[in-house]
Amino acid sequence: TQRYEPFRKVLYTPHPVVQSKGPAEVEELKAELGCTVTGAAPPCPIQSFMHANFSDRLVRAILQDGFEAPTVIQSCSLPAAMSGRDVIGMAPTGSGKTLSFLWPMLIHIFDQRKLSPGEGPVGLVLAPTRELAEQIYRNARRYIKCFGDGRGSAVAVFGGAGKWEMAQALKSGADIVVATPGRLMELIRSKATNLRRTTMVVLDEADRLLALGFEHQIRSLMDNIRPDRQVLLFSAAFSSRVEMLVGALM
Ligand code: ADP
Ligand code: MG
């Protein structure tokens, strides 16, 4: 059996304001937010970035970007993701799902030791299209600057142009890889990268990933990732196929 380096999943302590809420208050808050949170003892949603346990630097960047408070999906999924839980996040398009997973992913990555030469990403985001991958990548680049001291890099890989350049970028080291599944498979086969350091995986727009026929590739990629990884799945729609994928991966 393969031995894996230990890593930390729990990177969140609820703020005293959040911790002091009783069960009735938590229910009231969820009703107010209009969200449903299920699972074993889910953490309480947060209503402020000040309660997210984020560094001052990250909070400043978020406020600078004009975001005053977490969106509903962010309120619910940030504490769960940072507590090391696998998360299924369901919310409509435009509700802020990208940062629901990117901020926890960055915290997760910077809790770990730096990449050594030849090591692949700690955080992997799978997205259905080039456009989406590029958008997530831009967000990752924006917020990666709020961590570490210049360390940390993101690479986007997708079908179409520039396979050689993508391979070079991967080889020079990427803490986060945002990818469409098919192209990532090719690049792994050609040894441009590998998933041996990967400890957090996001499936973004899971319904579209499945609709575009990526299920088999997602499963093969996941077979290359250590079994105790953290998985976050986001989707605008839930379906029995998404449910089956969840059952297979979480
Ligand atoms: P989704 O993936 O749910 O479709 P996105 O993550 O693409 O949504 O976010 C939609 C828009 O909302 C983006 O322009 C993003 O910058 C913005 N946004 C994200 N979080 C917040 C927030 N907390 N407050 C205000 N706007 C936000
Ligand atoms: Mg999205």
Find, among 38, 178, 183, the residue nearest to 105 by Cα: 178
List of residues 6+ apart from 132 with CB closer than 8 A: 204, 205
Q: Are 60 and 41 in contact (CB under 8 A)?
A: no
Asked whether 2 lines ligand 1 (CB < 6 A), one says no
Give 149's pLDDT tier (boundaries 50, 70, 90): confident
Give 150's pLDDT tier (boundaries 50, 70, 90): confident
Q: In the numeric block, which tokens belong to residue 168?
A: 């070079």
- Of all ligands present, the nearest one to the C-alpha of 140 is 1
> 90 - beta bridge partners?
235
Specify the pLDDT at position 151.
Answer: 86
Between CA 232 and CA 247 the distance in angstroms is 13
Between CA 66 and CA 110 the distance in angstroms is 24
Between CA 213 and CA 225 the distance in angstroms is 21
Nearest atom of ligand 1 to the alpha carbon of 92: 3
**Average pLDDT for residues 161-179, to the nearest whole number?**
96
The residue behind tokens 């230990």 is 6
pTM: 0.97
Report DSSP state, residue 50: G
Specify the pLDDT at position 3.
Answer: 86
CB atoms within 10 A of CB 133: 24
Residue nearest to atom 19 of ligand 1 (CA): 96
**Average pLDDT for residues 35-61, to the nearest whole number?**
95
Which of 33, 47, 51, 71 has the most ligand 1 atoms within 8 A of CB, as the residue to mutate?
71
